[in-house]
Amino acid sequence: MQAKSILVIGGGITGVSAAEWLRRDGWQVTLVDRLHPGDPDQASFGNAGLLARTSVVPVSVPSLLRKAPSMLFDPNSPLFLRWQYLPQLLPWLVPFLRNGNIDKVKQIAKSLAALTYDTTDQHRALSKGTPASDFIRMGEFVNLYRSKADFDADHLGNAIRAKHGLVPEHLDRRQLIDRDQHLGPSYNFGAVFKDYGWITSPSNYIKALFGYFQSQGGGFTHGEVVDICAGENPSLTLADGEILKADKILLCAGAWSGKLAKKLGLSVKLEAERGYHISMYNPNFTAPNPYMITDRKFAITPMDGMLRAAGVVEFAGLDAPPSTAPTALIKKHLKKVYPTLEFTHETVWMGRRPSTPDSLPVIGTTPNAPNILHAYGGQHVGLTIGPKIARIAADLAAGRSPNIDLEPYRVDRF
Ligand SMILES: Cc1cc2nc3c(=O)[nH]c(=O)nc-3n(C[C@H](O)[C@H](O)[C@H](O)COP(=O)(O)OP(=O)(O)OC[C@H]3O[C@@H](n4cnc5c(N)ncnc54)[C@H](O)[C@@H]3O)c2cc1C
C-alpha cells in the first residue's frame, strides 16, 4: 500500500521537526518553503538558542499595562514600537494586555509549562542518531539581577516558577565572580537553574536536522505558498502557479502562519514580535553558561566560535526593515555586563517571533477541515517547544491522542 502523503509548510524549527517526526511515522513528507532551512530570514536562524524550560511566565503580566507607556518613551527600555504601526497592532495588543491579569497568567503558565518542561528530552529524541545532536549542550542557566532586592521584587514570576518546580539556587556577587571573573560591577545577584540545555548554533542545528531528513528520503519543494485549499485532497498553490496535493497539510509557517490561516477562513491573531541579536566572533573570553540579563531583557549565550546577545521586543509588523536602535541598545547594555569583552567581528540580525495574544502556540486541526493541521506560535520559546508541538501535530495526523490537553492551544480560540 502506498504511504499517505503530507505537505508541511515552513522549514523553521517547527516545520523541520514535524517533517522528520512524520517521516519516522511512515508518511511521504514534502517540506515546502520559499527559503532553505537555516536561512537568516527565519526566526529559527538567530535566536538565543535557549531550551528554556524555566520560561513559563508570559510576557503580558499585571504590571505591564502600568509600565508599557513609560517603557515606550524610555531610551533604555527593551520595548520598541513603530508608532505608525500602532493602528494595525491594536487588535492584537488589546487582548494581549487583557491577558495580563493574575488568573489568566497562572492559566497560561500552566499551559506553557506543559510544553516546556521536557524540552531537552524532546530535542534529544528528535536529534538522536543525527548530526544535530552535536549542537545540544547541557549546563546551568543564570538569571542575572542588579541586586537580591530586584530578584525578590518579581514576586509573581518567582511564585509561578516555584509552583512549577522551578526553584533556583542563589548566587551572591562573590559566587558570581568565582564562576565568571569578567562580569561587570552592575550585576550582584544570580538565580541559577541546573540541568539546562542550549543549542550552540541554531542555524546549523536546523540544517543538520533537515539534511538528515532529506538523507532518509524526505522531500523538499522550494516555493512560496500563496493559497491553501481544504477538502478531501487538500492542496497548496505556489507563487509560480504550481499546485501541490496531498492527503494532509500541516501549517508551520511561523509568524507568517496567520496570513495563510486566513486562506482557510480562520482569524488567528498572530503578531511578529520582532527581536534582535548581535553575534560576536572570536571573543577574548566566553560565558561559562547562558545568562538572562533580567533588567534589559536579553540573553547572552556561549555558542560555537562566538558569544551571542539576543532579545528585546519591537512591534513594527512582518515586513518593515530592521531598525538600528534595538541592537545599539543591546550593545550599550552588554558593556555593563562584560566591560572588557573584545571580539574580531560581529553580525547583527532581526527575527520575527510568532506570537499570539495569550503567549500560547496554536496546535490542532482546522474546524471543518480535519486534513489541515496547525503548529506555530512559539513566541519567545519557539525553539524550546518546536520539536514537541511538531510531535503533537504528528500524533494528530496519525489519529493518535497526544498525552496533553489541547484545548488551550485551539486554532479557533481567538
Ligand atoms: C531575538 C530572538 C531570540 C530568541 N531566543 C529564543 C530562545 O533562546 N529560545 C527559544 O525557545 N526561542 C527563542 N526565540 C523564538 C524562536 O526563535 C521562534 O519562536 C521560533 O524560531 C519559531 O520557529 P518557527 O519554525 O515557528 O518559525 P520560523 O523559524 O520563522 O520559520 C517559518 C518558516 O515558514 C516559511 N514560510 C512562511 N510563509 C511561507 C509561505 N507563504 N510559503 C513558504 N514558506 C513560508 C518561512 O520562509 C520560514 O522558513 C527567539 C526569537 C528571537 C527573535
pLDDT tens readout for residues 320-355: 999 999 999 999 999 999 999 999 999 999 999 999
Q: Which residues pair with 199 in a beta bridge?
A: 136
Phi, psi of 94 (to 5 degrees): -65, -55
| pLDDT surpasses 80 at 13 | yes
Q: Average the pLDDT over 287-291 and give the result.
A: 98
| pLDDT surpasses 90 at 203 | yes
| pLDDT surpasses 80 at 2 | no
| pLDDT surpasses 70 at 1 | no
With left for phi above 0 and alpha for psi between -120 and 50, is residue 368 left, alpha or beta? Answer: left
Cβ of residue 57 lying under 6 Å from some atom of ligand 1? no
Of 47, 122, 196, 388, the residue with max ligand 1 atoms within 8 A of its CB, to mutate for a pocket test, comes to 47
pLDDT tens readout for residues 124-182: 999 999 999 999 999 999 999 999 999 999 999 999 999 999 999 999 999 999 999 99
Instruction: Say how many Å lie between the CA of residue 9 and the centre of ligand 1.
Output: 13
Give just the sign of the alpha carbon dihedral 113, 40, 317, 82.
positive
Instruction: Say how many Å lie between the CA of residue 157 and the centre of ligand 1.
Output: 25
Strands 79-81 and 306-315, by their bridges, are parallel
Q: Which residues pair with 352 in a beta bridge?
A: 274
Cβ of residue 19 lying under 6 Å from some atom of ligand 1? no
Of 21, 34, 237, 238, the residue with max ligand 1 atoms within 8 A of its CB, to mutate for a pocket test, comes to 34
pLDDT tens readout for residues 351-409: 999 999 999 999 999 999 999 999 999 999 999 999 999 999 999 999 999 999 999 99
What is the rounded CA–CA span in Å between residue 57 and residue 108? 8
pTM of the model: 0.97
Of 244, 270, 308, 353, the residue with max ligand 1 atoms within 8 A of its CB, to mutate for a pocket test, comes to 353
Instruction: Say how many Å lie between the CA of residue 54 and the centre of ligand 1.
Output: 20
Instruction: Say how many Å lie between the CA of residue 12 and the centre of ligand 1.
Output: 6
Q: In what order do the strands lie in the sheet with 5-9?
A: 219-222, 28-33, 5-9, 248-251, 369-376, 362-366
Contact call for residues 196 and 290 (beta carbons, < 8 A): yes
| pLDDT surpasses 90 at 263 | yes
CA-312 nearest atom, ligand 1: 1
Cβ of residue 383 lying under 6 Å from some atom of ligand 1? yes
Instruction: Check residue 398 and give its pLDDT.
Output: 96
What is the rounded CA–CA span in Å between residue 276 and residue 309? 8
Instruction: Check residue 77 and give its pLDDT.
Output: 87
pLDDT tens readout for residues 25-81: 999 999 999 999 999 999 999 999 999 999 999 988 888 878 888 888 888 888 899
Cβ of residue 384 lying under 6 Å from some atom of ligand 1? yes
Instruction: Say how many Å lie between the CA of residue 341 and the centre of ligand 1.
Output: 29
